[in-house]
Amino acid sequence: MATRSSFRRRTQAPRPVSRVDDNVDGISCEECGSGDREDELILCDKCDKGYHLFCLRPILACVPKGDWFCPSCSNAKRLKRFPLIQTKIIDFFRIQRSTDFYQKPCQADSKKNKRRLGGLAMAKKKRKLLPFNPIDDPARRLEQMASLATALMATGTDFSDELTYVPGMAPRSANQASLEPGGMQVLCREDSKTLEHCKDMMKRGQWPPLMVVFDSCEGFTVHADRFIKDLTIITEYTGDVDYLKNREHDDGDSMMTLISAADPSNSLVICPDKRGNIARFISGINNHTPEGKKKQNLKCVRFNVDGESRVLLIAIRDISRGERLYYDYNGLEQEYPTQHFV
C-alpha cells in the first residue's frame, strides 16, 4: 500500500577502519557519543557532524533528500501556533459561511439506520462503517481545528479534504479502480453515504474528534479527542494525485499508494506535500515488533468509490480518549484488504 517507509540514505558515515584510526575516521553521534550503527548516522551538510536518525528530536524516519542541517546549524524556528480565532480558522479551512458553527452536530441519520437494522448486533454483523462523531462543544472543535492548522502551517501544506488533480500531474481520468489487478473492494452504497456524510460535516466545521499533538520524539501525531468506536471513518487520505513514476525520487515520507496497477506506469500515488488533510500526520507503527503492532488502532483501506480509488483510514477497534492513532504504513503492500472488512 504505502511507499511511506522507503528508507534512503543520503550520506553514509565511513566505517571506522580500526581502533587506532577511530579518532581520525570514526564519526560519532553528537547526541549519544556512540559511533555504532553507522548506517543510521547522517552528516550535517554544513558542519559535517554526525547524528543518529533515532537520536534526533523529532526522530528522522528517513534521510532527507536534499541538504540536511543539524539542529545547531539549522537554527530551527520555534513552532508557531495557529491563532485560536474563529474567523481565521473558518477562513483557513474554507468552512461554509452560511452554516452556524455553533449548531449542535447532527447524528440523527446513523441512529435512524441503526434502529431500522434492529440494533447494534445487526449493525456489527454487517460491519458497516460509522461516521466520525464530532464533539458538541464548539470551543473544543476550534481547538482541534487550530491544532491541525498549526501542523499544516509548519509543514507548508494547504488544507484539502479531497484528492486534487493538478495540471502536469496525473489527470482524474487516470484514477480507475479497475486498473488494480484483481479489482478493488467496492464501497457499498450505505458506506458511500456515510463517507459523504463525513465530508459534508467537515465542510460545516463539524470536525472529527481529533487533536494534532507535537511530540518531541515523533513530530506531529494525532490523538483521539473523545472515545471513537470500532469501524469509524477517521479521515480520507488526501493530497495531489500523481503517477508513481514521477515521484520515484521523492522523499516519499508521506506518499500513499492510490493505485498499484499491473502496468507500473499507470500506478498512482497521493502526495500530501502541497495539499492535504490530517491523514499525513497520523503515525505509523513499527511493524517489526509485537509492541509496535499492538499500538495499531487504524487500518488504511483502498476502496472503489464510483469507479475511482479512494483511501480511507478506519478504526479497527474501540479507541479511548487521549489515545494516539497508529496504522501500518506498509501492511497492505501485497494484501487484498477485503478480509478485514467483509
Binding residues vs Zn ion (CB under 5 A): 29, 31-32, 44, 46-47, 52, 55, 70, 73
* Distance of closest approach, residue 11 Cβ to Zn ion, in angstroms: 12
Among the listed residues 81, 60, 208, the one whose alpha carbon sits nearest the alpha carbon of residue 133: 208
- Cα 143–Cα 145–Cα 148 angle in degrees, nearest 5: 110
86/219 with CB nearer Zn ion: 219
Kindly state the smallest distance separating residue 64's Cβ from Zn ion, in Å.
13
- Cβ closest to Zn ion, residue 39 vs residue 248: 39
Q: Which of 211, 199, 198 is nearest to 141 (CA)?
A: 211
> What span, in angstroms and rounded, lies between the C-alpha atoms of 59 and 232?
30
User: Which residues lie closer than 8 Å to 97 by C-beta, 6 or more apart?
Assistant: 90
Q: What is the C-alpha separation between 287 and 289, in angstroms, rounded? A: 6
Task: Between 31 and 143, name the residue whose CB sits nearer to Zn ion.
Answer: 31
Closer CB to Zn ion, 54 or 165, in the complex: 54
Q: At what angle do helices 108-116 and 189-203 cross, to 10 degrees?
A: 160
Nearer to Zn ion, 33 or 182 (CB): 33
User: Closest CB to Zn ion among 29 and 129?
Assistant: 29
Q: Residue 324 Cβ, how far from Zn ion at the closest point, in Å? A: 24
Q: How far is the CB of 39 from Zn ion (least distance, A)?
A: 13
Cell of 265: 506506469
Nearer to Zn ion by Cβ, of 7 and 102: the residue is 7
Which 3 state secondary structure label does DSSP give 187? coil
Cβ 324 vs Cβ 223: under 8 Å: yes
**Least gap, CB of 52 to Zn ion (angstroms):** 3
DSSP SS3 for 189: helix
- Cα dihedral value 265, 271, 277, 279, nearest 10: 80
Interatomic CA distance for residues 103 and 9, integer angstroms: 50
Q: Least distance from C-beta 77 to Zn ion, angstroms? A: 16
Question: Quick one: 40 or 273, whose CB is closer to Zn ion?
Answer: 40
Contact in structure between 224 and 283 (CB atoms under 8 Å):
no
Per-residue exposure over 70-95, b if at least 16 CB sit within 10 Å of its own CB, e if not: beeeeeeeeeeebeeebeebbebbeb
In angstroms, give the least distance from the CB of 69 to Zn ion: 6
- Which residue number is nearest to Zn ion in terms of Cβ? 29
CA dist 191 and 122 (Å) reads: 15
**6 or 11: CB nearest Zn ion:** 11
Q: How far is the CB of 305 from Zn ion (least distance, A)?
A: 45
CB of 27 vs Zn ion, minimal distance in Å:
11
CA atoms of 245 and 3, how far apart (whole Å)? 12
